[in-house]
Structure formats: structure tokens, C-alpha cells
Amino acid sequence: MPPNPSELLMSERFTQLVKWASENYDLVLIDTPPILAVTDAAIVGRHAGTTLMVARYAVNTLKEVETSLSRFEQNGIPVKGVILNSIFRRATGYQDYGYYEYEYKSDSK
């Protein structure tokens, strides 16, 4: 392994792997570490057709999300959306939705 593992993502071999996967599968998802921690997301983002960012509710701050989006932008990678995960519904806020039954009658004999 090279001293900088991100170098593997910059190799021709990785480029060919992504190309092969794209040609052989309808959807290819590549999960990377957070862009604020390492450069992997910026490197992989250059190979991606669509980039989505994942933020954890009540853990990631607005400043972290803004800085992350800025890093993608600096690397020329458009982020198409943000996935907000780890949202838990409280039991006290639960609402029940039901279905209504309708009946139509005709007056004709």
C-alpha cells in the first residue's frame, strides 16, 4: 500500500474499475469517508455521475455542511442533493393515518 492511500483512488486501475462497473451495472454507489476528514470524496467525485452528500441529523453542524459543500465546489464537483440520516421519530409525535370507505349509489331503476 502506498504511503498515501488516496493515491490508489488516483490510479488508472481505479478509473478502469469505475468505468467497468458503470458499463456493467445500472447503478454504482461509492461510499467515501467525510470530505472534511480526507480527500477521498473529492477524488472519487470526479468519477461519479452524481454526487450526494450525507449529513447526520443533530451531529453535523450547519457550518460543517456548508464547508463540505464548499470543498466539493472547489474541486469542481456539483453536489446534486443532501441525504439527512439518523432522524428518529419520537413515539409521542406519532400520527395514525387511516383510509375512508366511499360508497356510490345510483337513483336509476
CA atoms lying within 13 Å on the CB side of residue 74:
11
Counting every residue written for the chain, the total comes to: 109
Q: Is the predicted pLDDT of residue 96 greater than 80, yes or no? A: no
Q: What is the pLDDT of residue 12?
A: 96
User: How do residues 11-70 score in pLDDT, each as one tens digit?
Assistant: 999 999 999 999 999 999 999 999 999 999 999 999 999 999 999 999 999 999 999 999
